[in-house]
Structure 1
């Protein structure tokens, strides 16, 4: 389920961002002990027995997976809606039960993973994959001369995105055919960057033959199609390129905000109240959030209008409901078709939040 779909669902929700390291000899026992402590915290926060049960099944079910640093889960009263492995270990674990889901950790993670396509090429053919905006490797099946090439779908996490050996391509394919296939993959995932690896001459030829993708094309020296040709090094290189592209995108958004803020036409606002008003007027194109600066600030209003894309108007004060701003603002942005850009201290935001507006 996408985070936009989760944002529109009625609460309450339990949100967990927990340490999920399993690289110890007694990993199973440690996991059980950690879950017992988490279940006690969930109960203290007001989680229902059903919430605790479904989350317990998700956290303790199946064998421990070595190497997973963190785990992010969101559940409603009936089922687990999101279950993702994330890099980094939250310190301390985050456990919340509230009317709105806490989606910011996943948004922060996805903000560093722009859609991209990767191809390793040589004179014989290519291996390639594309990663969409949700970090999923999309399925692709391309008919080559003689035999089909099957692309397999994998779920998030860099370890699952390493080059997977496809059905062997037996026919020689020229750079134009490879470029045509790569163009389709890049367009399908709306790639912002295309990474080309493999033999230098073929790499250059494919680069020159690529169709219109709207993506930045980066040639890299690591990686090859032969068995044992440094797939892990290629993964590291792809990570660097994607991270750099995400940084460029964030810099462009913050530059737009800095330019617009304070101008007469008023195409940017800052502060919690001003941002909420823009969201409820369906006028926030992009919400910028500095989580550290936003902290534990709250919004005094019914969560219903925040997750209802048809609810327009100014925030009311008649309700006695208090929502956390770091939960409410992402939900309101997502259900109204906006985006959320997590930032650091590179832009001064009053109360840690601001918005680029669609109109003055």
Structure 2
């Protein structure tokens, strides 16, 4: 389920950002103790028994992960909507029960990533995969005339090849066929970066034969289809390229915002009041937000019109309802088709929020 789809669901929600357990000898016992403490916090926050049971099954049902990682779980009264691993444990852990889901840390974690496609090629064939905007991995393989597609759940957000390793399938195609399939994968995930690795002559031929994707195409020295090859170097190169592209995209948004805010036509607003007004009017194309600067501010609005534009009429009869701004603003932006861009402290607008507008 996408973040936009979660934003549109009725609440209440329980949002957990927690330290995942270590893979140690007493991991089972430690997990039980940690879940007991989390369940008590959820109950104190007002979570229903059903919500606690759903989250408890998710937390205690999976085998321990090696090393220290984080985990995010978001549930409503019916199901666990998000269950992803985070590269590092959150500090501090977050346990919230509220009318709106707390999506901002999840958005921040994904802000350093962009959709991408990767192919490792040699003269015999290729292994390739794509990662879409929602962090779903799409592996593509062709044998003869068949086109089996495997879409797998992407644990922990934006993964890399070593995290979703499959049994290799030998695919015998020439460079033109590989390039055609890589073009299709890149278009399918709306890739912003296409990485081609493997044998020098083959990857160069594949790059020349690629169709138009609108993506940045980069050849890298790392990566091989040879049996027993180590993917760590390739994973590092992919991570670096993806992070560069994500930072470039964020810098372009900030530059647009700064330029628009300095002009008379008023295609940008800053501060909590102006940003909320733009969001309620479905006029915010891109929400810029810095969670530290926004802090614990609230908005005096009920959750329903923020979650559902059709419920704006409820504002007339609402009295004293409040929501946390760090929950409300991302939800309001997402359900109205906008984009959320976390920004650094130096680029943060007044009160930690601002918006690029669709129209003046």
Verify same fold: TM over 0.5: yes
1:96 is matched with 96
Whether contact under 8 Å (2:19, 2:89) holds in the other structure is yes
Q: Please state how far the C-alpha of 1:21 moved relative to its aligned partner.
A: 3.2
Q: Please state how far the C-alpha of 1:285 moved relative to its aligned partner.
A: 0.4
Deviations 1:33-89, CA, capped at 9 Å, x for gaps: 111111111111111111111111111113222246111111112221111111111
Cα distance change of structure 1 residues 37 and 284 upon mapping to structure 2, 3 Å threshold? same
Whether contact under 8 Å (2:271, 2:352) holds in the other structure is yes
**Take 2:190 and 2:272, find their aligned partners in 1: how far apart are those partners?**
32
Q: Please state how far the C-alpha of 1:28 moved relative to its aligned partner.
A: 1.1
Q: Please state how far the C-alpha of 1:208 moved relative to its aligned partner.
A: 1.0
1:166 is matched with 168
Deviations 1:151-187, CA, capped at 9 Å, x for gaps: 5433224266455343222x3x221111111000100
Whether contact under 8 Å (2:333, 2:339) holds in the other structure is yes
2:328 is matched with 328
What secondary structure does 1:138 align onto? strand
Are residues 1:36 and 2:52 paired? no
1:235 is matched with 235
Q: Please state how far the C-alpha of 1:344 moved relative to its aligned partner.
A: 0.9
What secondary structure does 1:265 align onto? coil
The 5-angstrom pairing of residues 253-272 of structure 1 reads 253-272=253-272
Q: Please state how far the C-alpha of 1:309 moved relative to its aligned partner.
A: 3.1
Cα distance change of structure 1 residues 314 and 329 upon mapping to structure 2, 3 Å threshold? farther
Whether contact under 8 Å (1:290, 1:345) holds in the other structure is yes
Q: Please state how far the C-alpha of 1:149 moved relative to its aligned partner.
A: 6.6
Cα distance change of structure 1 residues 298 and 321 upon mapping to structure 2, 3 Å threshold? same
The 5-angstrom pairing of residues 113-128 of structure 1 reads 113-128=113-128
1:352 is matched with 352
1:2 is matched with 2
1:153 is matched with 151
Deviations 1:326-349, CA, capped at 9 Å, x for gaps: 000010001001010111123131
What secondary structure does 1:153 align onto? strand
What secondary structure does 2:185 align onto? helix
Cα distance change of structure 1 residues 162 and 239 upon mapping to structure 2, 3 Å threshold? farther
Q: Please state how far the C-alpha of 1:318 moved relative to its aligned partner.
A: 4.5
1:251 is matched with 251
**Take 1:10 and 1:68, find their aligned partners in 2: how far apart are those partners?**
33
**Take 2:129 and 2:259, find their aligned partners in 1: how far apart are those partners?**
37
Cα distance change of structure 1 residues 245 and 190 upon mapping to structure 2, 3 Å threshold? same
**Take 2:330 and 2:31, find their aligned partners in 1: how far apart are those partners?**
31
**RMSD of aligned residue pairs (Cα, Å):** 1.9
The 5-angstrom pairing of residues 42-121 of structure 1 reads 42-67=42-67, 69-121=69-121
TM-score normalised by L of structure 2: 0.94
Whether contact under 8 Å (1:300, 1:317) holds in the other structure is no
**Take 1:226 and 1:318, find their aligned partners in 2: how far apart are those partners?**
65
What secondary structure does 1:124 align onto? coil
Whether contact under 8 Å (1:195, 1:218) holds in the other structure is yes
Structure 1 gaps, min length 5: none
Cα distance change of structure 1 residues 303 and 278 upon mapping to structure 2, 3 Å threshold? same
**Take 2:281 and 2:223, find their aligned partners in 1: how far apart are those partners?**
49
**Take 1:308 and 1:165, find their aligned partners in 2: how far apart are those partners?**
44
TM-score normalised by L of structure 1: 0.94
Deviations 1:191-215, CA, capped at 9 Å, x for gaps: 0000010011111111111100000
Whether contact under 8 Å (1:127, 1:225) holds in the other structure is yes
Question: Does 135-144 or 75-84 show the bigger shift?
Answer: 135-144
Whether contact under 8 Å (2:72, 2:86) holds in the other structure is yes
**Take 1:92 and 1:317, find their aligned partners in 2: how far apart are those partners?**
37
Cα distance change of structure 1 residues 53 and 162 upon mapping to structure 2, 3 Å threshold? closer
